[in-house]
């Protein structure tokens, strides 16, 4: 017999490792990083907690794998036509992605905030930001904007702020308007 959460999410034992990673992201996004336990992940995924231990061994390994899973889900939202140089595609699906997948972003922000309290998480946060900046660098280059580290840092900081505010306030129209204005500024640089 499945619980309501498992029935609603469509996850369970048959979905394997990815279901556990999705559950870990959801636990952190909804309850905070301090509540990431084998039992909480197992409950969210609708499996026995021993399965989580079997797949990941340690909480740190689970967290690292969940971060990679979350990044794989979200870094691609930088453009609706990756590598095309199409400025209209740049950030084109970002708002819809965040609205449809808020847990990925909330998970990442929880990790970022926890790194402030626990320096041992700093390497994961650095990896998180490096992945986004590398993707942004590639997209700017393809769009004919000559990126440098400072420009990429500035643009990503703006994107990070737009996503954070969208996640917290839910103002879709403000996020869309801000991203369009950012594209206009980038067109002027190209």
3-class DSSP assignment, residue 118: coil
pLDDT of residue 174: 98
State residue 79 phi and psi, 5-degree precision.
-150, 145
Q: Is the pTM of this model over 0.75?
A: yes
Residues 66, 18: contact at Cβ < 8 Å? no
Mean pLDDT of the chain: 90
Instruction: Reply yes or no on whether the pLDDT at 8 is more than 70.
Output: no
Report the CATH fold assignment for 1-57: Arc Repressor Mutant, subunit A (1.10.10)
pLDDT of residue 4: 36
Residues 110, 28: contact at Cβ < 8 Å? yes
3-state DSSP percent of the chain in helix, strand and coil, to 5: 80, 0, 20
Torsion on CA atoms 42, 45, 51, 54, rounded to nearest 10: -90
Quick: pLDDT tens for 30-41: 999 999 999 999
Quick: pLDDT tens for 53-96: 999 999 989 998 999 999 999 999 999 999 999 999 999 999 99
pLDDT confidence tier of residue 49, bands split at 50, 70 and 90: confident
SS3 letters across 38-100? HHHHHHHHCCCHHHHHHHHCCHHHHHHHHHHHHHHHHHHHHECCCCCCCCCCECCCHHHHHHH
Least confident stretch, 5-14, 24-33, 143-152, 175-184 = 5-14
* Closest by CA position to 4, among listed 142, 12, 19, 30: 12
Residues 160, 178: contact at Cβ < 8 Å? no
pLDDT of residue 5: 36
Residue with tokens 């400072």: 150
pLDDT confidence tier of residue 15, bands split at 50, 70 and 90: low
Domain-by-domain residue ranges, the chain?
Answer: 1-57, 59-189
Instruction: Reply yes or no on whether the pLDDT at 143 is more than 60.
Output: yes
Residues 62, 41: contact at Cβ < 8 Å? yes
Quick: pLDDT tens for 102-114: 999 999 999 999 8
């Amino acid at each position: 017999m499945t619980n309501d959460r498992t029935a609603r999410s469509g996850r369970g034992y048959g979905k394997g490792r990815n279901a556990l990673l999705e559950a870990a992201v959801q636990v952190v996004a909804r309850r905070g990083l301090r509540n990431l336990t084998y039992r909480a992940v197992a409950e969210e995924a609708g499996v026995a907690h021993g399965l989580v231990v079997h797949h990941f061994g340690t909480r740190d390994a689970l967290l690292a794998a969940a971060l990679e899973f979350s990044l794989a889900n979200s870094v691609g939202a930088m453009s609706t036509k990756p590598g095309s140089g199409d400025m209209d595609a740049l950030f084109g699906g970002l708002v819809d992605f965040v609205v449809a997948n808020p847990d990925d972003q909330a998970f990442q922000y929880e990790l970022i905030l926890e790194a402030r309290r626990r320096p041992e998480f700093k390497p994961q946060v650095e990896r998180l930001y490096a992945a986004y900046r590398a993707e942004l660098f590639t997209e700017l280059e393809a769009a004919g904007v000559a990126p440098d580290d400072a420009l990429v840092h500035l643009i990503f900081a703006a994107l990070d702020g737009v996503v954070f505010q969208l996640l917290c306030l839910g103002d879709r129209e403000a996020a869309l308007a801000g991203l369009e204005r950012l594209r206009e500024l980038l067109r002027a640089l190209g």
